[in-house]
Structure 1
Amino acid sequence: MQYQVIICDDSKLGRRSVNRCLPEGFASEVHMAANGLEAMEILRNHSIDVLFLDLTMPKMDGIEVLENILLEKISASVIVISGDVQPKMQERVIELGALEFIKKPLQQSQLVETLKKFDLLPEQV
């Protein structure tokens, strides 16, 4: 199965890094968002399966995105990828519905294991 994906990070390098770590054939389409406002706009207008979300961004941060997803009852699997590794922040994103918190810098093996853990990736990949 292929997924509709958003990669949301204010860093162009961060977005490219996540995109490069996606397993081949994982995404049918990848949308890029430079901040939470852009991500919410895409979520409202497309049927998104998976959102890879940074926390520290201008205009709307990752916590606000998670809160809005809950408020608007948007169904998308969210995986947070952030350099903000405070235990309280990690707990908060899980409380707000994120599947997992992965610390930057992202390692492809870590991303693949997370996708497998939540049945977002066939075992063969």
Structure 2
Amino acid sequence: MDLTTLNRRTTSGLLDDRIALASAPALDAHVYEELAHDRSALVRHVLAENDDVPRDVLVELVEAEPDLVDVVALRPEAPAELKEPLPVTEHSPESIDVYCADRGACPSVRVGLQEARSTYASETLGEAYRRLTSR
């Protein structure tokens, strides 16, 4: 599908088209940016769950709709700042690895966060990171 058709469907009145685009893989970043500001909460929620949405669009999405932070924050691609308030136990191993790379964490901190993830502790990812890096 060409970019003109995608743009038309992104801004069309057809909810089904916009939902389909929000879940589609490997679209132009511009299409994802448009969908991040869609008038439908359902479209924005579907977009928040799409693994192909670029990091900067995830940030835009949360800025446009703060209620989506819990959905976006669990995504491995989410920026570290969005991940920190959630419990460490809710993050996937991949999400923690990306978080550690974003923070420039040493291997022992990465291992410590992975261990914290499996302990069912009530601390947030940010709290666990600060505990492990304050030693």
TM-score, length of structure 1 as denominator length: 0.31
Flag the structure with higher strand content.
Answer: 1
Provide TM-score, normalisation by structure 2: 0.29
RCO higher in structure (CA 8 A, sep ≥6): 1
Greater Rg by CA: 2
Kindly indicate which of the two structures has a greater share of residues assigned to helix.
2
